[in-house]
Homo-oligomer: A and B are copies of this chain.
Amino acid sequence: MSVRPAVEADVARILILIRELAEYERALDQVRATEEDLLNTLFGHNPQVFAHVVEVDNVVIGIAIWHLNYSTWLGKHGMYLEDLYVDPKYRGEGHGMELLKSLAQICVSRGYERFQWWVLDWNTSALELYKSLGAVGMDEWTVYRLSGDALQEFGRNG
């Protein structure tokens, strides 16, 4: 397997791939992350977000960024996959599956019973892959987000 945990030297390449994924998701204008942000959050004190990378010929061509989530029903942590991306030039070679499998192995070895992620409803190739693994869409639920001015106003003290 050419998957390994990311190291600090990967950060510049990780940011390039994050930006490519955002472009695919039609949201490049929303990317504000810098290399320093990634260094701080992935490799600072007591990190709570993690990255795995997949390499071909010593070049990082895919990334998986993940963190823990939690189930109150199980009383246990699980894994949440924030981003999965493989450089389009290397698609169809199983690298996305290698990344997913590495993370699933971490889940099994640590006793995490749920491995979750979001999918854009129009990303049919990804949906097919995920369903082929036995992943199930949580169709009864919708994610709500409070952000921007609404969050600032509601979260103001007093």
Closest B residue by C-beta to A134: B150
A128 to chain B, nearest CB (A): 12
Report Cα–Cα, A106/B80, bound state, in Å.
Answer: 22
Q: Is the CB of A69 within 8 A of B70?
A: no
Q: Is the CB of A33 within 8 A of B144?
A: no
Report Cα–Cα, A121/B138, bound state, in Å.
Answer: 11
CB-defined contacts of A90 to chain B, threshold 8 Å: none
Interface residue tally on A, bucketed by range? 35 or more
Q: Is the CB of A143 within 8 A of B118?
A: yes
A137 to chain B, nearest CB (A): 5
Residues from 67 to 122 in A contacting B, C-beta threshold 8 Å: 67-77, 80, 82-83, 100-101, 104-109, 113-122
Report Cα–Cα, A14/B119, bound state, in Å.
Answer: 32
A2 at the interface (CB under 8 A from B): no
Closest B residue by C-beta to A108: B155
Report Cα–Cα, A12/B116, bound state, in Å.
Answer: 28
Report Cα–Cα, A63/B85, bound state, in Å.
Answer: 36
CB-defined contacts of A151 to chain B, threshold 8 Å: 104, 107-108, 113-115, 134
Q: Is the CB of B140 within 8 A of A120?
A: yes
Residues of chain A having any CB pair with chain B under 8 Å: 18, 21-22, 27, 30-34, 37-38, 40-41, 46, 48-49, 65, 67-77, 80, 82-83, 100-101, 104-109, 113-122, 130, 133-157
